[in-house]
Amino acid sequence: MSYVGLLHFDYADNSKQVNLAIRYYFCHLLLNRPVCYFLLHKEIERCATPPKTLDDSLHDLSDLETWVFESSRNCLHNALLIVACLRSHPQLIGWYQAQYLIACYAIVLQMQLQQPTAFGDSEDADFTLDSIESLLEGVKVQTTQSRWTIDMLRNVRRNLNAASPLSTLRPTPGSALTTPNTLGS
């Protein structure tokens, strides 16, 4: 392990450290995820349950405190850290780490479309999403489950991007692939 200033960190000789780092990042991601959800879905949630009582005024979003944005950005940044850490140690990606990547993908994808300013000067969101896809594809033992996971991620990404007014893509109508519940037949 070596420090090169503060800007580069080499985990190469320490899988213990990677293990601790990833779990630590994920704790922060989990902690801040409800706030991130709130920020990303505030209109939907408000439409679903219009305020009626005084208590419901707590759901009034007109005075969102700064910390809500800060917490959502923490969630995003920890997702980016998980991806970067696993990108430098792809051999350590097992089923559990793949689940982390699935969550990171969802958060990066939605933040990219709805809160792009949260990325600040960090790496390009599309690059992060591409690298998650290739990390999952690069896992040595590919199962039906892992292939379906990648299909799911790509399908959602394409459709969400297609829904953007700036996109020329069109939503995919469905998949011609065999669904998991028909595999056994």
Partner 1 sequence: MARHASIGYPEEDGAFKRVPMPSFHTSACHKLYQYWPRLRINLSLDGFDPLQFQRQCDEADHSLEQNLAEAAEATVRSHLIEEYIQRLYHQTNLVPQTIIYLLQMTSTYSLQTALSQIPVRKSDEDMGYIKLSDLSLTLLLLLSVAFHYLTPDPSTDYGTTASSWKCFQLALTRLWTVHSQAEDFMLNSKLMVAVQLQIIYGRPFHAIGLLRQVGLSLSSTWTRSRLSLGPASFIAKMHFLMESDLLSEIDGQPTADTNQLFFDTSGNVNGSQTQFPLYTAAPEQQAPLFLDQTLWLRLCQNRILMTIYMINNSYSNPRFVGRPISDFTSELEFWYRSLPIELQFPRTIAAYGLLTHIIPSYKVCRTLVCFISTMLTIPNR
Pick out residues in 113-152 that bind partner 1 (CB under 8 A): 120-123, 140-141, 143-146, 148-149, 151-152
- Confirm if 118 and 73 have CB atoms less than 8 A apart: yes
Binding mask 1-40 for partner 1 (x = CB under 8 A): x---xxxxx-xxxxxxxxxxx-xxxxxx-xxxxxx-xx-x
- Confirm if 76 and 118 have CB atoms less than 8 A apart: yes
Q: How far is the CB of 43 from partner 1 (least distance, A)?
A: 11
Using the rule CB under 8 A, is 63 a contact of partner 1? no
Q: How far is the CB of 64 from partner 1 (least distance, A)?
A: 8
d(CA 74, CA 107): 11
Q: How far is the CB of 55 from partner 1 (least distance, A)?
A: 7
Q: Looking up tokens 């503060």, which residue turns up?
A: 6
* Nearer residue to partner 1 within complex by CB, 34 or 134: 34
d(CA 121, CA 107): 17
DSSP-assigned beta bridge partners for residue 4:
8
Binding mask 85-114 for partner 1 (x = CB under 8 A): x-----xx-xxx-xxx-xx--x--xx----
Q: How many residues bind partner 1 (CB under 8 A)?
A: 94
- Confirm if 82 and 101 have CB atoms less than 8 A apart: yes
Q: How far is the CB of 8 from partner 1 (least distance, A)?
A: 5
The CA-CA-CA angle for residues 5, 29, 78, to 5°, reads 25
d(CA 133, CA 45): 30
Q: How far is the CB of 173 from partner 1 (least distance, A)?
A: 6
One of 54, 65, 117, 166 touching partner 1 (CB under 8 A): 65
d(CA 175, CA 86): 29
* Nearer residue to partner 1 within complex by CB, 94 or 116: 94
